[in-house]
Structure 1
Amino acid sequence: MKPEISDSLPITDPVLQATLEISKSAREQAQAVVDLYAKSLEDASGGAIPVEVLGQLSKEQKLLMTYLAQLRGLHRNSHLRHRKTKTQTLESKGQVDSLHLHLQNLLYEQRHLEGEIAACEGFEHTYQSLPLIPVEEFLAQHPELQNSADIDEDALMVARINHERAEREALEQQRLELQKRKTKLISENKKRREDLANLDKDLEKFIDAAKPIQKMFDKVA
């Protein structure tokens, strides 16, 4: 006979279903033994219970003990299964906790990387403040780029930066050449000043040396 199982809490485990069935059979058998014993006492009216009734009671009690033995076996097996399930549950919980911790680490790393990406996207690079020539003027100087289908905004910016670098390098080269010329002119001017200073000294010596001759000419005159 199938046990009555609540629809709100269905039991599908075969061992538990068997336990419920044996439990119900044991309960019904116990009630049958009690009823039979009570009826035997009532029929005996205070006298001795007939032997055949005692035999029937003995059979019913043996059947009840069989049910109880089966229940004890099922209980023991259920206890062992419970311990095994508990161990497996703890192991699974440990795995879930480990996976949860790993997930938290991944989420933390994801938030960190998203922050780094946002910082990079919002970073104001130096090239953004470079005094580049206007795009129209640059394209006018490089007409080959106007008809290029492959060039995009980033490639155009790189080309403009390279152009600016080339212009600055050319200007720097001119500056260095002018600096060399300036240094050379300064050196030549310094040499000339030294030559003029030496000439002034020579003239002063010549004038000083000519003073006695000039006096002699003055006397003769």
Structure 2
Amino acid sequence: MARDDLITDPALLSVLQSAAQARQQSLAILDLLEEYHARDQSASPSDETALDQQLALSKQQKVLNAHLAQLRGLNRKAILGVRATKQETGEARQEIDSLHLQLQNLYYEQRHLRGEIAGCEDYDHQYKRLPMIPVEDFLSAHPEHSNSSDHDLTIARIQDEHTARQALEEQRQQLVKKKDALVKETVAKKEELGKLDGEIEKWLGGQETVRRVFEAREKKMGGVQGQA
């Protein structure tokens, strides 16, 4: 494969073209100098011939200087292009490094989240120990959850258990209030019975005193009658 087939960049092709032109022009000047040198050795040149030689050589040198100036411009352009390419490469490398760091962070975060998910899946949740009604009985009582996912069905069962426990708690509190009222009523009746027992004892004590008085009077009257 030829060298020209390997190089396809337009900037490099223009450099090669200018270099080739400068090389050809340099060879042409060398040939001209050799021709003039050989002619000078074979015959003595006249002033007019020497002037023509200098004019022709000057023209060729001007053409060569033009090619060299074009090469210097292309070289300067290439240097600026290399600098710009280095800057772009550095910026692209920084961006790649930043993206790589972000990718590593995402990888670590993904691994952390997977560990958290595995921990949650293996966690002994308290709801698993709740004495909830079987799924079949719950679906029979709540057919609107027949097409729910396992997650939504579990939440609905927990909410149903919570509602049932709240109702039981309300019943318990009502029974506790009823029990407290009955206890208060029993205590009040006990106190009332105690007061009644005290009054009865007082009444019985008064009756005993009256009986003794009557008995003493009867004995006294009986003694008086016996003396008469």
Shorter-chain TM range is 0.5 to 0.7
Alpha-carbon distance in 1 for matches of 2:16, 2:195:
129
Residue in structure 1 matched with residue 180 of structure 2 by the alignment: 183
Change (3 A) 1:188 1:74: same
Alpha-carbon distance in 2 for matches of 1:32, 1:128:
103
Change (3 A) 1:110 1:136: same
SS at 2:136 equivalent: helix
Residue in structure 2 matched with residue 22 of structure 1 by the alignment: 21
Per-residue CA deviations over 1:124-168 (Å, capped at 9, x if unaligned) read: 4554443322223334x438469x5x3443343244223322321
Task: Name the structure with the higher helix share.
Answer: 2
- TM-score by length of structure 1 reads 0.65
Residue in structure 2 matched with residue 133 of structure 1 by the alignment: 133
Residue in structure 2 matched with residue 5 of structure 1 by the alignment: 3
Residue in structure 1 matched with residue 168 of structure 2 by the alignment: 171
Change (3 A) 1:27 1:179: farther
Aligned residues: 212
Alpha-carbon distance in 2 for matches of 1:176, 1:127:
25
Alpha-carbon distance in 2 for matches of 1:130, 1:50:
125
Instruction: Confirm or deny: 8 A CA contact 1:25 1:67 kept in the other structure.
Output: no
Structure whose CA Rg is larger? 2
Per-residue CA deviations over 1:64-100 (Å, capped at 9, x if unaligned) read: 3421333124313541463366347536744763575
Alpha-carbon distance in 1 for matches of 2:66, 2:131:
97
Alpha-carbon distance in 1 for matches of 2:216, 2:178:
56
- Note the residue ranges of structure 2 that are not aligned, 5 or more in a row: 220-228
Q: How does 1:1-221 map to 2 (within 5 A)?
A: 5=3, 11-13=9-11, 14-32=13-31, 35-36=34-35, 39=38, 43=41, 52=49, 55-56=52-53, 59-60=56-57, 62-80=59-77, 82-83=79-80, 86-87=83-84, 90=87, 93-94=90-91, 97=94, 101=98, 104-105=101-102, 108=105, 112=109, 115-116=112-113, 119=116, 122-123=119-120, 124=123, 126-139=126-139, 141-142=140-141, 144=143, 148=146, 150-203=147-200, 206=203, 213=210, 216-217=213-214, 219-220=216-217
Alpha-carbon distance in 1 for matches of 2:38, 2:194:
156
Question: 1:63, CA displacement in angstroms?
Answer: 0.8
Change (3 A) 1:91 1:6: closer
Identity %: 21
Instruction: Confirm or deny: 8 A CA contact 1:19 1:74 kept in the other structure.
Output: yes
Instruction: Confirm or deny: 8 A CA contact 1:40 1:53 kept in the other structure.
Output: no
Aligned residue type for 1:60: L
Instruction: Confirm or deny: 8 A CA contact 1:29 1:60 kept in the other structure.
Output: no
Alpha-carbon distance in 2 for matches of 1:135, 1:85:
73
Question: 1:186, CA displacement in angstroms?
Answer: 2.0
Instruction: Confirm or deny: 8 A CA contact 1:15 1:74 kept in the other structure.
Output: no
Per-residue CA deviations over 1:177-204 (Å, capped at 9, x if unaligned) read: 1111112122212222332343455456
Instruction: Confirm or deny: 8 A CA contact 2:132 2:161 kept in the other structure.
Output: yes
- Note the residue ranges of structure 1 that are not aligned, 5 or more in a row: none
